[in-house]
Structure formats: structure tokens, C-alpha cells
């Protein structure tokens, strides 16, 4: 198995759809160029922001294939392959491996609430079935429960293909405990944008954050400032990132808000797939106001 080092800012990017709900491949290619030129360390297709639960197997393959082709080796591609069942998760992960991705981001099963034993067995089955670097993904706001740090630690101890964990719990305590247990062995990545700098300060390796869809350069600059020891600049950028996160992710349907913000920046983010709907006028004004603040010359 090829090892991979996951450091920096990764963009868990949107999947542009047409008004009719079809995949817009050319729009996706345009956005990939924007993200790569913005300095992100890697691309994450078919994650939460990519509306993966709404994608068929064929669509997932097409999205990953398109991103791989457009990225052309400039940055790693970490494809989301998680699903509700172990069987489907293994199938999607094998598909991603066949397409040549650098790693797979695998969310915990969702819809039903599972015990830690069941979650461990789910990942164990995947890790034994597919020889590819795996990033565990904890996002309790979508799944309804949290991946326990002890389960992460157990999997890391037993399987060398666990190379990272994205924690989107929003809990600095959870991230701290994960870093304490496995931070010297794998990449611990913040999944909540307002915890990017705190995670780095605690020993994490970076972040996989939705804000990077709209402001890739700002997010990558935060990481770069931290790496060169300019903590004053890193703090300034973290405050800006947190403000964008508050507007895009916490106030509105993030799928629709990110795509609206991309559109307002002149990029083809496309439409969300139903049941998500485009923002209404007052919501769009909130996004416009945020962009006006963020894009104002300093």
C-alpha cells in the first residue's frame, strides 16, 4: 500500500448540478482549477458537501474520475466513500481505489445509531477488504452520534492503512483526546473551520473544511502562517475563516449557501440537489454582505 502524508488544508468540495439536477462536469472542472490555484493541499470529492448520499454509484465514479483528471496529480485526491452499510462502503471504496485516488475518507454509517463495537467492526471489515489509505470521518451533526477516540486509537493500533481522521464534532475536547492518543501516528484533521488553528496548535496536521470551497487561498494562508510561526497572522486569518464559517455553515443550509457564495464569486457552483433548495432572497443578501466584508480591499 502506498503511504500518504496528509498535511495542510483540504477542500471537501461541492458537486455542481444543473437546475434539472444533473451532474455538471464542466462546472466541476472549473471549480477544481479554482481550488487548486487557491493553494489547497488536496481535494475531497463525494463528501458531505459533495452531496454524496444523493449520488448513485455511477455518479460517484464520474465525479471522482473528473476530479482526478482535472487535478492531474497537482494535489492528492481523497475521495469520500462512506455509506449507510458496510457492504456499500466497501464497494464504493473499491471503486475509488480502482480510479487511482490517493486515499478514501470514510464517514461512520448513518441513519441508525450504532454502538462503538458495531462501528469498530464496520471499519475493520473495510480495512481488511480494501488495501488503500483510509481517513476516518466523524461528523455527528449528520450521523447522530460521535466516533469515540478510543475506537480511533484501536483501529490505528491494528491497521497501518488508517492514515488520518477528520473530526467534525466541533468539540475541542474530542480533538484534543484524539491527538493525545494517535496524533504522533496519523494526521488528525479539523473538520470544523473555527477549530483549524486550535487543532494545529494542539498538534493536528491540518483541516478539511467547507469554507475552503469559497476562500481556498485564505484557508491555505492560515496554514502557511502557522507553519512559519507567524501566529499573529494565523490568528487574524482564523478570525476571518470563523466569520465565513458562521455565515455559510451555521446560519444556512450549507449546501445551498456554499453554492450561492461560489456563484457570487463568479464560479459555477451549480444548484443543490433536492430536497435542498437554492437560498431565498434574504438569505442571499446575508451571503452578499459577508462577501462584501471579506473581499473589501484591506
DSSP 247: I
Beta carbons within 8 Å of 258's beta carbon, 6+ residues apart: 14, 49, 210, 213, 214, 248, 269
Residue 137 catalytic? Answer: yes
Catalytic residue among 137, 223, 263, 271: 137
Give the Cα-Cα-Cα angle 192, 32, 43 (nearest 5 degrees): 45
Q: Are 198 and 172 in contact (CB under 8 A)?
A: yes
Q: Which of 97, 166, 259, 263 is catalytic?
A: 166
C-alpha Rg value of the chain to the nearest Å = 18
- Residue for cell digits 439536477? 21
Q: Determine the longest span between alpha carbons in the chain, in angstroms.
A: 52
**What one-character DSSP code corresponds to residue 17?**
B
The Cα–Cα gap between 181 and 194 comes to: 22
Phi and psi (nearest 5°) for 143? -95, -20
**Other Cβ atoms closer than 10 A to 5:** 12
Distance CA 242, CA 196 (A): 9
Residue 217 annotated as catalytic? no
> How far is it, in rounded angstroms, from Cα 256 to Cα 242?
18
Cell of 230: 507567524
Q: How distant, in Å, are the alpha carbons of 123, 146, 217 from that of 127?
A: 6, 20, 34
> Active-site residue numbers?
137, 166
Amino acid at each position: 500500500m502506498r503511504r500518504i502524508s496528509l498535511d495542510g488544508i483540504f477542500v471537501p468540495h461541492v458537486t455542481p448540478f444543473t437546475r434539472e439536477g444533473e451532474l455538471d462536469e464542466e462546472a466541476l472542472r472549473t471549480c477544481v482549477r479554482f481550488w487548486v490555484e487557491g493553494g489547497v493541499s488536496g481535494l475531497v470529492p463525494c463528501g458531505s458537501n459533495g452531496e454524496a448520499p444523493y449520488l448513485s454509484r455511477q455518479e460517484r465514479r464520474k465525479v471522482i474520475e473528473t476530479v482526478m483528471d482535472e487535478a492531474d496529480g497537482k494535489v492528492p485526491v481523497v475521495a469520500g466513500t462512506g455509506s449507510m452499510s458496510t457492504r456499500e462502503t466497501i464497494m464504493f471504496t473499491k471503486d475509488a481505489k480502482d480510479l487511482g485516488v490517493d486515499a478514501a475518507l470514510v464517514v461512520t454509517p448513518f441513519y441508525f445509531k450504532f454502538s462503538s463495537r458495531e462501528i469498530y467492526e464496520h471499519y475493520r471489515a473495510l480495512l481488511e477488504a480494501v488495501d488503500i489509505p483510509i481517513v476516518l470521518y466523524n461528523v455527528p451533526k449528520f450521523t447522530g452520534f460521535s466516533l469515540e477516540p478510543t475506537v480511533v486509537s484501536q483501529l490505528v493500533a491494528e491497521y497501518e492503512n488508517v492514515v488520518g481522521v477528520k473530526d467534525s464534532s466541533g468539540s475541542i475536547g474530542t480533538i484534543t483526546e484524539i491527538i493525545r492518543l494517535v496524533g504522533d501516528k496519523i494526521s488528525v484533521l479539523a473538520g470544523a473551520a473555527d477549530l483549524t488553528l486550535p487543532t494545529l496548535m494542539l498538534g493536528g496536521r491540518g483541516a478539511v473544511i467547507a469554507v475552503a470551497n469559497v476562500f481556498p487561498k485564505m484557508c491555505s494562508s492560515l496554514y502557511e502562517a502557522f507553519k512559519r510561526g507567524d501566529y499573529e497572522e494565523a490568528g487574524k486569518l482564523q478570525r476571518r475563516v470563523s466569520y465565513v464559517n458562521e455565515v455559510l455553515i451555521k446560519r444556512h443550509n450549507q449546501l445551498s449557501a456554499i453554492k450561492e457564495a461560489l456563484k457570487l464569486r463568479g464560479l459555477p457552483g451549480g444548484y443543490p440537489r433536492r430536497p435542498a433548495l437554492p437560498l431565498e432572497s434574504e438569505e442571499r443578501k446575508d451571503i452578499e454582505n459577508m462577501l462584501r466584508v471579506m473581499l473589501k480591499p484591506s
